[in-house]
Structure 1
Amino acid sequence: MTATAPADADPTMAAIAQAVTEGRAGDSAAARRKLLGLWTAIGATGDPLHRCSLAHYLADLYEDPAQSLAWNVRALDAADAVTDRRVQEHHAGLHIAGFYPSLHLNLADDYRRLGSFEAAAEHINAAEAHAPSLPRTPYGDLLRGAMAEVAQAIAGRDRSRRASAPGSSA
C-alpha cells in the first residue's frame, strides 16, 4: 500500500496521508497521535478502507512488534471488508488484492520478531501467494525483496528488527 494515491475527494484519506508524511519525515509521535485521533473518529465499524489504511500505516509507527501486530491484524481484518469498488472510488487503478501482499508481509514480520515462527511462516506464505497481485513497479519490487528478506529471517529464526523495515528510522 502506498500513501501517494489522490485523496482530495476523501478528507479522511487525505488526513491519513498527511499523518503518514509527517511520520516518514521523522515526527512519529505526532503522526501516531493524529492517526489514533482519526481511528477514534472512524470507529471500529467505520469505512473499511479508512480502517485498513490507517491501521496499516499506524503499525509502522510502533517499534514494539506486539503493538505493531495489533494494528496489522486490524488492517487485515478491515481489508477483508473492503471491496474493489470502494478502493477504486479512492483511486481508479487500485485493487484490494494488491493490498494483501503487504498486509501479510507485515504480519509475518511482527510474528517473526515475537518469535512465533510458525505464524510468521503462514503469513509469509500468504504474502507470497498474493505476490502476483503486485505491480511490476519499484514498489512491487520493494515488497518482493522484503518478502524474501523476511522469509530468510524466519528460516534462520532471526528475531531482530530488519534495517529495511518500515519505520526503522522512527
Structure 2
Amino acid sequence: MVEDEVMTAMGTAVEQGRAGDRAGARRALTELWDTVGDQGDALHRCSIAHYLADLQDEIADELRWDQRALAAVTDLSDERARRYRDSFQVRAFLPSLHLNLADAHRRSGDFAEARRYLATAVEHVDALPDDDYGAMIRSGIGKVREAVEAGSRGPLAT
C-alpha cells in the first residue's frame, strides 16, 4: 500500500481531538478539507467530513458534515478504499455514517429523520466486521434506538 499523507494528517488531527484539543483538531481537519476540496478524493472527503462532524459544537454544523461524509461515500469505490487498507469495504462504512445522521437528527428533535437513518444503518449492519469496531457500531445503533423510542434529545451515555 502507498503512504497516504492526507489520511496520516487526518489521523494526527483525530488524535489531537481525542486528547482534548477539539478546536485545534477542527482547525487541522478544516484545513485538510480545504486542501482536498469538495471534488477531491472520495476516501479523503468521507473520512475528513466524518471526523469533522464529531468536532462541531452545534448540531446543525454536525449534520452538515455528516451529510457531506455520506455524500462522499457514494463516490468511493472498494478498489480505492482498499488502496488505503486492504480490509476496507465501502458498504461497511454505511452503518456508521447513517448512525451518525440518525443520532444528530435525534438530538435536533427530528425523530422521523432519526428513525429513517437508523433503519438504513440497520439494513447495512451485516457488512460490519465481527470485531471491536463492529461491536461499537452495533451498540451505538441500540443506544440511539432506545433514545429515539424514549424521545430523548440529550447526549448518549458513553
Per the normalisation by structure 1, the TM-score is: 0.90
Q: Identify the residue that residue 3 of structure 1 maps to in structure 2.
A: none
Counterpart-to-counterpart distance in 2, 1:58 and 1:48: 15
Find the partner of 1:29 among 12, 23, 26.
Answer: 23
Give 1:61's match in structure 2, choosing from 45, 55, 58. 55
Which of 67, 84, 106 is residue 112 of structure 1 equivalent to?
Answer: 106
Amino acid paired to 2:129 = P
Q: Could you list the structure 1 runs, at least 4 aligned residues long, displaced by more than 3 angstroms after superposition.
A: none
Could you tell me which runs of 5 or more consecutive residues in structure 2 were left unpaired when the two chains were aligned. none
Counterpart position of 2:88: 94
Q: How far off its partner does 1:63 sit?
A: 3.1
Distance 1:162 1:59 in 2: 16
Q: Distance in 2 between matches of 1:104 and 1:66?
A: 16
**Partner residue in 1 for 2:145:** 151
Instruction: Report the alpha carbon displacement of residue 139 of structure 1 after superposing the two structures with TM.
Output: 1.3
CA distance in 1, matches of 2:57, 2:124: 26
Higher relative contact order (CA 8 A, sep 6+): 1
Matches within 5 A, 1:46-57: 46-57=40-51
Could you say which structure has the higher helix fraction? 2
Distance 1:130 1:57 in 2: 20
Count, aligned residues: 158
Question: Is 2:67 the counterpart of 1:73?
Answer: yes
User: Identity percentage over the alignment?
Assistant: 42
Deviation per residue, 1:106-133 (Å, 9 max, x gap): 0000000001000000000000111001
What is the letter of the counterpart of residue 95 of structure 1? Q
Structure 1 residue 163, shift from structure 2 partner:
2.7
Distance apart, 1:152 and its partner CA = 1.0
Match of 2:10 among 16, 28, 53: 16
Q: Match for residue 128 of structure 2? A: 134
Give ranges in structure 1 of 5+ residues lacking alignment: 1-5, 165-170
